[in-house]
Amino acid sequence: MSTLLTINLTNRTAATQSFYFFQQPAIYAGGSQVYSNSLHCQYLGNYDSTGSVLTFQANLQYYAGIQQTNNQPQVGQSSGFASAFRAIDLAPASGTANDCTTASVDPLGLSQPTVGQNVQAGAFRIITPAYQAPPMYNIGSAVQTNGSLVLSNFVVANPLNTTDCQPILRYYVQTGSYTPGSVINFTTSSINAAMCDFTGGHSTMNVTLNPDGTWAVQIIH
């Protein structure tokens, strides 16, 4: 049975607010620019008036993703369209795991993961084939959230290349409206956002937007 990371969000401000959720970008080998997508977006009313709590859930299972696009990533725009995802393991500190997948572009897809060579501990690997742009392809870390898979963070792929991706289990909540799968500016969005750090093994956190606009984050043991 898969483990779900859960954020229960309560709005204590007077007005109905729109909230979006996103993940801290993974660490990518090679220094390419890393982009982030919104994972979920929803309106939530004042708790005292509605009694409503918004629950966001992300599967702890790691996924590699590839996505076709025709444009460079732009904040507020969808990062791409056709996508393929594979559940994948992370490379252990010792021993082996199925931590490497090979992409194809015609048809778009990712192979069943196999054991990669010298993949950095805590990362998975995507190998991209030869192709000519356009179109372009985004590759990176995907998340299964509230029942659907979304490319969480990514780099623009290069043909005949190997990319290692080390996911980070930190999720953020911010006020605003970004459609899931649309590009956000992580640096700007994370300023004064609520941060939920699941790297310590916790699986549930309660987040409250206080009447004065500050955040409270409570770890549920």
pLDDT tens-place string over residues 76-104: 999 999 999 999 999 999 999 999 999 99
Q: Which domain holds residue 152?
A: 4-220
User: Residue 19 — very low, low, confident or very high, per pLDDT cuts 50/70/90?
Assistant: very high
Cβ atoms of residues 23 and 178 within 8 Å: no
Residue 219 has pLDDT above 90, yes or no: yes
- Nearest partner of 152 among 2, 44, 28, judged by Cα: 28
User: Residue 1 — very low, low, confident or very high, per pLDDT cuts 50/70/90?
Assistant: very low
Residue 188 has pLDDT above 70, yes or no: yes
CA distances for 57 relative to 32, 206, 216, angstroms: 29, 12, 18
User: Residue 165 — very low, low, confident or very high, per pLDDT cuts 50/70/90?
Assistant: very high
- The C-alpha angle with vertex 62 and arms to 39 and 83, in degrees rounded to 5, equals 60
Q: 9 in helix, strand or coil?
A: strand
Bridge partners for 141 per DSSP: 64, 153
Q: What is the pLDDT of residue 147?
A: 83
- According to DSSP, the β-strands at 98-105 and 4-11 are unpaired
Residue-by-residue DSSP string for 64-86: EEEEEESS---BTSB--S-EEEE
Q: What is the pLDDT of residue 32?
A: 83
Q: What is the arithmetic mean of pLDDT over 129-134?
A: 90
Tokens for 53?
């709590």
Q: What is the pTM of this model?
A: 0.96
Number of domains in the chain: 1
Distance of alpha carbon 206 from alpha carbon 52, whole angstroms: 13
